[in-house]
Amino acid sequence: MDTLGYQALVQQRLVAAGYTLRMTPPAGLVGHRRDFRLRWMATAVHTVVHVTTTPHVTADGLAGFTRSALSHSEVAHGQMRGLQSGVAVVAAVIAESADDEAHAYAMRTIPKDFAAFAWPVVVDLGAELRSSHAGSPLVGAVYSSWMRQQIEALLPQPDAVAATARD
């Protein structure tokens, strides 16, 4: 599967998961949904998924995309942040290849602002590997399982997608 094919799969999964699409290819893919949970200390979270494609991703490229996605999401959905509302961003870069440093950045970094954070994700189709934060962050830990669920549901491991395509 190539980057655009994988992005089309993500777009289908966003719609199936109840996300409203804001932008679609070729400009990029942005999906949004708002959820409220009592277990989140009675807060509403605007989950925004930004997806882009590139032939090769570096740590600097992923960091820049993640910061841009977080800033865009704060402007679009974060007017009342902190008043029982927050912004959670999945910033996914789908690439034919990725630097080891890009995978490391995705696994260790969660950029944060006031009542907003972003989980960078690298989908490396060449290596058939998806990388994202695996630990529990100090700030926003209550949302960790939600974010992992969204990443798993929307951005499947490339080796699983390839195996399904071969069957």
For the chain, domain boundaries? 3-162
| Helix, strand and coil percent figures for the chain, each rounded to 5 | 40, 35, 25
pTM for this predicted structure: 0.89
% of the chain with per-residue pLDDT over 90? 59
- Residue 62 tokens read as 């992923």
Tens digits of per-residue pLDDT, 60-85?
Answer: 999 999 999 999 988 877 666 666 77
Higher pLDDT among residues 104 and 144, named by residue: 104
Rounded Cα–Cα distance for residues 71 and 26 (Å): 21
- Residue 39 tokens read as 């277990």
Residues 93/123, Cβ–Cβ less than 8 Å: yes
